Amino acid sequence: MSEKKLPELGITMLATCHTLPPDHLAKEVEDRGFESLWLPEHSHIPSSRATPFPGAAPGREELPDVYWHLNDQLVSLSMAAAATDTLVLGTAVTLVAQHDPVWLAKQIATLDFHSGGRVELGVGFGWNREEYESHGYKFSDRYTRTRDNIGIMKALWTQDEAAFDGTLQSLEPSWSWPKPAGDIPLLVGGGSGPKLLGHLFEWGDGWMPIRSPKGSFAKEVVKVRRLAEEAGRDPASISMTVMNAPKAVDELEELAQLNIDRLVFTIWPQDPDAVLLELEGLTKIVDSFVS
């Protein structure tokens, strides 16, 4: 392998009440040398199940029930913060448009302040129409509402007297503390479609795609960097956190050649012993990769 800076390595899993508690999971992840832990969120899953599952595959057409057993993301990351010293506390992703942006800004700022600046916010636009609309919003507005909510949150994080004028959401001049310990990276999660990339280039600090084992992911990386430059963004200003990292050392080395900033492995088991066994296996893969 040529002399390239190795990417940081993280872990993501669908954390529920049936698996390791968040503080235990985070400590195990940090103790094994992983840089970050990334937790997803869904507020709930309406049982109508009208929206097709985007992760459907042969033998996995139905949405797994783990999706409606998810623990609260930020409460879990707070527990993870208290149990660790250096672990990056990531969201993968936060469905920002489903939240009240003032409360969400306060929660994230508090977590970042008390953890010493360890929060990175993965931003998702959502795929489940009925989940989204049960919060009182139109699914078709989710991109605009996300942009507005991000604008409100950034104002609250960075301005002593914060204000923001958006399309659907605005904030009158307001005071709110604590402020984050530092700048909170905003990582836009999803594919490489024009609408998503438009938001990435406008206000995102990083791209967080889910690597598909099919096709050439390298071409997607090259495409995003080219389009960023065409949009007036320095490609180097956009970090890349790639989810669903491969478990083969040669594939990890191929991704490292692309100057990816972070690779995140997915843990699927829920049984605590199985999770620890999976972590142990990933640790051995990482040892071979970095040696």
pLDDT higher than threshold 70 for residue 61: no
pLDDT higher than threshold 50 for residue 2: no
Distance CA 70, CA 81 (A): 18
| HSE (side-chain half, CA atoms, 13 Å) at 264 | 27
Q: Is the Cβ–Cβ distance between 278 and 240 less than 8 Å?
A: no
64 DSSP assignment: P
Beta partners for residue 189, in sequence order: 208
What's the pLDDT score for residue 234? 98
Weakest-pLDDT range from 59-63, 115-119, 169-173: 59-63
Q: Is the Cβ–Cβ distance between 210 and 243 less than 8 Å?
A: yes
Give the confidence band of 213 by pLDDT, cuts at 50, 70, 90. Answer: confident
Token output for 101 = 């942006």
Distance CA 5, CA 263 (A): 13
Weakest-pLDDT range from 56-65, 98-107, 167-176, 207-216: 56-65
* pLDDT, mean of residues 109-133: 98
The domains found in the chain, sorted by start residue, are: 8-290 (3.20.20.30)
Give the confidence band of 65 by pLDDT, cuts at 50, 70, 90. Answer: very high
Residue 207: its H or E element: strand 206-208
Residue partners of 236: CB distance under 8 A and separation at least 6? none
1 DSSP assignment: -
Q: What angle do CA 208, 133, 189 make, to 5 degrees?
A: 0
What's the pLDDT score for residue 59? 58
* pLDDT, mean of residues 156-161: 98
- The whole-angstrom distance between residue 9's C-alpha and the CA centroid of its chain comes to 14
Q: What are phi and psi of 168, to 5 degrees?
A: -110, -25
Q: What angle do CA 153, 155, 159 make, to 5 degrees?
A: 135
Give the confidence band of 221 by pLDDT, cuts at 50, 70, 90. Answer: very high
Q: What are phi and psi of 192, to 5 degrees?
A: -125, 35
Give the confidence band of 4 by pLDDT, cuts at 50, 70, 90. Answer: low
* pLDDT, mean of residues 36-45: 98
**How many CB atoms within 10 Å of residue 52?**
12
Separation of first and last alpha carbons in the chain: 10
Beta partners for residue 241, in sequence order: 262
What's the pLDDT score for residue 60? 58
Q: Is the Cβ–Cβ distance between 156 and 171 less than 8 Å?
A: yes
Number of H helices, E strands in the chain: 9, 10
Q: Please report which residue ranges of 204-271 form alpha helices under DSSP H.
A: 217-230, 249-256
What's the pLDDT score for residue 58? 58
Strand bridging mode 206-208 / 186-189 = parallel
In this prediction the pTM is 0.96
pLDDT, tens digit, for every residue of 178-187? 999 999 999 9
